Structure 1
Amino acid sequence: MTDTDRAERLRSERTPYVLATVVRAERPTSAKTGDRALVLPDGTMEGFVGGHCAESAVRDQALTLLRSGESTLLRITPAEDSAPLEGLVTVSNPCLSGGTLDVFLEAVIPPALVDVYGDGPVARAITEVGRAAGFAMRPADTDAPPSPDAAAVVVATHGRDEETVLRAALDAGVGYVGLIASRKRGAAVTSALEGGERVHTPAGLDIGARTAPEIALSVLAEILSLRPRPAHGAGPAPSTGAEAGRCH
């Protein structure tokens, strides 16, 4: 199986990985320009980007990038006093016998998966707008459990099987659980649920949304505002709790 085939399979399985590509090799090194490897979340490396020491440096940096979702250029060099350059991470590695490797590390993170329950205008709009925004959207029937790696579950079933779906999402530990409902009805539904305080209802940021596409935009904006961020970019999450234009 080629690197390309393997990468395609990982994407189809929604497995994050880092593609490491040698873009410059200063002899003597065992790697050559164009050599590539895939680094998986468990530290497994498939491919070749140099000997043991180079491989170790690539693995360590790749695992850091999988947590941040960023990409970078890694320089592995025996020099101890290399001048820092913007956009370049330099690792001093005495294992290299006088050579230097520049390796581009591209983090490939699957898009956040959002399960949407319901088949009305709001549910359809959330799915359509979400796809346009780069989310992986999964329309779901109320008898289907949340996806194992769902980042968010949005319930827009207009009163049908809401508690069942919400309970399953809460039990599964889904990061964002939203209910499309008025504030009054949403409070009544969630009050009967253990952990119901975790449900965002009315779902969405308060942007004065009234139409189905506007409600979809507000819900997806709320999901984005609450997604985990790297520590260096963390900040307070915006306030939430819109009720304008919600479906009763």
Structure 2
Amino acid sequence: MHDWSMLDRARALSERGETFAWATVVWRQGPSSGKEGCRAIVTADGVLDGWIGGACAEPAVVSEAVRAIADGEPRLLLLGTSGRFGEAVPEGMTVVPIACQSEGALEIYVEPVEPAPHLLVVGRSPMARTLVGLATALGWCAELIGRTEFDEIGPRSMVVVATQGHFDEDAVEGALRAGPAYVGLVGSRRRGEAVLGYLADRGVPRADLDRVRVPAGLDLGPVPHREIAVAILAELVAFRASREPAAPPPVPARPAEAVVDPVCGMTVERIGEPVEHDGTAYFFCCPGCRDAFRRDPEAYARKDVRC
């Protein structure tokens, strides 16, 4: 991989909280336009950015990458002409028939990437700054703010309110309204009860208030502010480790209009120029397969073209 901007794009996706997949060519057999080390990013909605091969390889890689994002499992793909590998395919490798008229082949490693944890700390105290610094050292996307408006908060975000009595109620209410995975309030248990009681009187649902962790962090007793930050971070790490993962997006089904290319066996959509034979319309992944079918339609027309 020589295009270092790919790392910048991956970082931007992670900071926005978007899951994506890396697709990396780890082996090739010519002729193939994909080379060892070629890399691409595939987003959850199936957009490919980068280069791993030509028109035959890309659709198959995108489809498998979207499935990897959905189930969270990496996979090693072997792309080539259907049936050419025989018993030589290692266990655990997924064979995807491509290649129409080419004799080339590719091995592509597809790895889903979860976004960096997102932590928002509300407050300006030394403890709040220490907590942000510790989380940043872990590779988290951590931000220190001094307001009660919460922008770009998602269901994976975590919010720690450390406003020390200045606007605790507004900060907790605003955090709950944004819907993060975790809301913690730094303060004594007595102070927490007062804040939650006030919010209950203001009509905040009890189910929401029950989500607030107060006091935030592991109970270490009276300790310096740096150790309070460590205790809160430890609780956040434990929370992420024990939390049931959010339901992944459904694995996309094949399109309703998908058919099988009768020449190479690839799954294709009903787009492009079809070839009519005995009242059936056949679709192809590329002009090479279309031309092969036209030269000898009887050799391929007997294949089932339904998915």
TM-score when normalising by structure 1: 0.76
Matched, 1:115 2:120: yes
Please, which moves more after superposition, 63-72 or 219-228?
63-72
Q: What is the match of residue 176 of structure 2?
A: 170
Distance 2:33 2:231 in 1: 52
Number of equivalenced pairs: 227
Query: What are the superposed Cα offsets for residues 6-27 of structure 1, whole Å, 9 maximum, x if unpaired?
Result: 5414523524433322121123
Q: What is the match of residue 236 of structure 1?
A: none
Distance 1:163 1:24, change over 3 A: same
Indicate the SS of the match to 1:93.
strand
Q: Structure 2: which amino acid aligns with 1:105?
A: V
| Pairing of 1:111-150 with structure 2 (within 5 A) | 111-149=116-154
Distance 1:173 1:129, change over 3 A: same
Query: What are the superposed Cα offsets for residues 127-186 of structure 1, whole Å, 9 maximum, x if unpaired?
Result: 121112221111101244243347111001111111111111111111111101112221
Q: Give RMSD over aligned pairs.
A: 3.0
Distance 1:146 1:28 in 2: 49
Matched, 1:224 2:237: yes
Please, which moves more after superposition, 212-221 or 195-204?
212-221
Query: Which structure's CA Rg is the greater one?
Result: 2
Q: What is the match of residue 235 of structure 1?
A: none
Distance 1:32 1:92 in 2: 18
Distance 1:70 1:165, change over 3 A: farther
Distance 2:210 2:147 in 1: 21
Q: What is the match of residue 160 of structure 1?
A: 166
Indicate the SS of the match to 1:32.
coil
Query: What are the superposed Cα offsets for residues 63-101 of structure 1, whole Å, 9 maximum, x if unpaired?
Result: 34435667554333434655445xxx5222232355431
Task: Note the C-alpha offset of 1:58.
Answer: 1.9
Task: Note the C-alpha offset of 1:62.
Answer: 2.3
Q: What is the match of residue 52 of structure 2?
A: 49
TM-score when normalising by structure 2: 0.63
Q: Is the 8 A contact 2:76 2:94 kept in 1?
A: no
Q: Structure 2: which amino acid aligns with 1:56?
A: P
Please, which moves more after superposition, 131-140 or 51-60?
51-60
Distance 2:125 2:43 in 1: 39
Q: What is the match of residue 216 of structure 2?
A: 203
Q: What is the match of residue 194 of structure 2?
A: 188
Q: Is the 8 A contact 2:32 2:104 kept in 1?
A: yes
Query: What are the superposed Cα offsets for residues 21-49 of structure 1, whole Å, 9 maximum, x if unpaired?
Result: 21211235453334332212211112332
Q: What is the match of residue 238 of structure 1?
A: none
Distance 1:229 1:142, change over 3 A: same
Matched, 1:213 2:226: yes
Distance 2:123 2:22 in 1: 38
Distance 2:78 2:106 in 1: 6
Q: Is the 8 A contact 2:44 2:66 kept in 1?
A: yes
Please, which moves more after superposition, 141-150 or 164-173?
141-150
Gaps of 5+ in 1: 232-248
Q: What is the match of residue 5 of structure 1?
A: 5
Distance 1:207 1:113, change over 3 A: same
Distance 1:65 1:209 in 2: 46
Indicate the SS of the match to 2:150.
coil
Q: Structure 2: which amino acid aligns with 1:201?
A: V
Distance 2:229 2:214 in 1: 14
Q: What is the match of residue 76 of structure 1?
A: 79
Q: Is the 8 A contact 2:189 2:214 kept in 1?
A: yes
